[in-house]
A = this chain, B = another copy of it.
Amino acid sequence: MSPRPYRMGKRAESVARTRAAIREAARDEYAETGIDGASMQSIARRAGVAPGTVLYQYPDPDELAREVIQESTRVMKVPTAADVDADASLASRVRWLAHELFRVYAGTEREYQAWSRSRTHPVIAESDAWYARTYQEVLGAVLGPEHADPRAFQVASAVIDPGFRANLVARGMSDDEAADTAADLVIGWVELAS
């Protein structure tokens, strides 16, 4: 029934490209200024579009922030409790989690910057709540009932953490070395504690 399916497809494609460019520009902007400090003008400049285009595509700045944050969470495939191999040893479950999460952290450095600058922003708070629940569940499944005491949660979550990963990488470790080191720290601590 559409008289110009080809041209409509082209337009939809071009809109999708523009929206993706705006989201990518917003990621850079948030990393530098936080979500609160982000300016539509500056996002438009980074995306190479007119400020009016940003406002037309994303009239609500929180909606833009929400799409950006949700997209990166989806793309990064955060590991969940369902992914944990219950038959593996505690040590290999911990090692698996450290590698999975350090991969996520390496791919979300801009989001981590945005997070540390805008912890109280509602969109960050939403995503934080989701992440905290997911992390809690996957870590619970990794540690298993016999190691799931509150102190083990505190220790493992402080070590398998984006800031701690950045700290190891700044000291010259590769991502894999950093993940292995974090796993060794948690495993060594659990063995010492039990």
Q: For A2, what are the chain B residues with a Cβ–Cβ distance below 8 Å?
A: none
- Which residue of chain B has its CB nearest to the CB of A154? B171
Number of copies of this protein chain within its complex: 2
A-B pairs, 3 with minimum CB distance: A188-B188, A188-B192, A188-B189
Q: For A181, what are the chain B residues with a Cβ–Cβ distance below 8 Å?
A: 151, 154-155, 158, 189
Max chain B C-beta neighbours (<10 A), residue from A155, A157, A161, A168: A155
User: Closest approach, in angstroms, between the C-beta of A147 and any C-beta of chain B?
Assistant: 13
Q: Is A58 interfacial (CB 8 A cutoff)?
A: no
Which parts of A157-186 form the interface with B (CB within 8 Å)? Answer: 157-159, 161, 163-164, 167-168, 171-173, 181, 184-185
Q: For A193, what are the chain B residues with a Cβ–Cβ distance below 8 Å?
A: 184, 188
Interface SS of A by simple majority: helix
B161 and A167: CB pair below 8 A? yes
Q: For A185, what are the chain B residues with a Cβ–Cβ distance below 8 Å?
A: 155, 159, 185, 188-189
Q: Is A191 interfacial (CB 8 A cutoff)?
A: yes
Q: For A155, what are the chain B residues with a Cβ–Cβ distance below 8 Å?
A: 181, 185
Q: How far is the CA of A155 from the CA of B181 in the complex (A)?
A: 8
Which parts of A114-167 form the interface with B (CB within 8 Å)? Answer: 151, 154-155, 157-159, 161, 163-164, 167
Q: How far is the CA of A173 from the CA of B158 in the complex (A)?
A: 11
User: Closest approach, in angstroms, between the C-beta of A133 and any C-beta of chain B?
Assistant: 16
